[in-house]
Structure 1
């Protein structure tokens, strides 16, 4: 199964330029391990950025340069489909193994709210936000919210759906402050995902907003 949801092109460019939060870099790198198209796009963007920096005098990038690189990456990805597949849903991306040496099965989950457990990656910088693993039970709904900044969510196992689509293993949701959503785990197994934000969430209901300081979100 190949990932169907990917980081936006401007997110790829920011990652290649080294201008995203450490937490976002972690999620993008983990996704790119399993998605050849994104891995190729990142490599091309890094190469282009290096060429521009090395050029004398400075050369401005054409407006459609990244679009052409992305099209090239997609074509290359079609010819190397196996590079964009998950080996199994439970496999952990290599870039996460130093943070989770015992894998997902070795995590000591902490209770968060009914139906949801969390594990915070406190050593990973994420601006004014946070980065954490969530294990969300079948049928559980995350309260409706928007984002004060950006949010990346990488699915490691299981599935969830929201207003932006259906997400499974390897998919990466790239959301900004224009998105209001209410994710729900719509499969018979828990959904384990890695979520990074650079600003606190903004919940729609007053009660949920009142609980935010206690929940650390």
Structure 2
């Protein structure tokens, strides 16, 4: 940066303050001077100003309260120089009804594990329902969860077509056909592209998982709708363990479709 005029890199950092009218007189003058001499930065500012309108057209409905709370907390932490800790992907508002009497037992179990990781959700939902979070390794992640699962010798592991991942079916709900599953993925491994006959709920127990644009860590919740295809990848290094509620089994894309529905 010169005495008055910022560099291109510095302009990017000043645009939010500029749009909010928070720049001081020297900063405003320096930014205006730079923009008058720099066509690429003028083009960047134009796209920056058009982004909110484009987002409003894509999502005309207001965001859900849970999304607003999560975003507000993350922005506050960033402004204060803190890195947000704990889950950043939370259950949808309607999912919490599973904790009520007669609710879906598999979904309720995932919610209870999420509550064990998430301070903000415990402040809004029954903390007594939480299954406390444990250490970062897969074995530790299962420690306090085991009493809520059938004995390990009843788990039915599937490896067929999973490219190195293991999925154990733990329970099946005869009323809905949904299954409760435990997935174990080696670090850096990608699950083959697949979809489901119904919805899939994922709750990460340990390690990290990249599923499309979502980067998931312990306690994070992700819902995939029927027919939606994805191929999540475990983060490098440690194994990723996840608890899954699956409807309609796993249905592979490509040549693996000859295997039929798995689980």
What TM-score comes out, normalization by structure 2 length?
Answer: 0.54
Residue of structure 2 aligned with 1:26, choices 82, 104, 109? 109
| Ranges in structure 1 where 5+ consecutive residues have no aligned partner | 45-82
Distance 1:194 1:3, change over 3 A: same
Query: Does 2:252 correspond to 1:211?
Result: no
Residue of structure 2 aligned with 1:150, choices 181, 192, 199? 199
Instruction: Please list the CA deviations of residues 151-185 of structure 1 after superposition, one character each: whole Å capped at 9, or x if unmatched.
Output: 11111111110214111111111222264321011
Following TM superposition, by how much is the alpha carbon of 1:211 offset from its aligned partner in structure 2, in angstroms?
A: 1.0
Query: Does 2:147 correspond to 1:97?
Result: yes
Distance 2:223 2:108 in 1: 12
Distance 1:176 1:134, change over 3 A: same
Residue of structure 2 aligned with 1:128, choices 172, 177, 189? 177
| Ranges in structure 2 where 5+ consecutive residues have no aligned partner | 1-84
Query: Does 2:122 correspond to 1:39?
Result: yes
For the aligned residues, what is the CA RMSD? 3.2
Query: Does 2:190 correspond to 1:141?
Result: yes
Distance 1:20 1:203, change over 3 A: farther
More helix per residue: 2
Distance 1:101 1:128, change over 3 A: closer
Residues 21 and 127 of structure 1 are in contact (CA less than 8 Å); yes or no, is this contact kept in structure 2?
Answer: no
Distance 1:156 1:140, change over 3 A: same
**Alignment partner, residue 180 of structure 1:** 229
Query: Does 2:57 correspond to 1:9?
Result: no
What TM-score comes out, normalization by structure 1 length?
Answer: 0.64
Task: Indicate the structure (1 or 2) with the bigger Cα radius of gyration.
Answer: 2
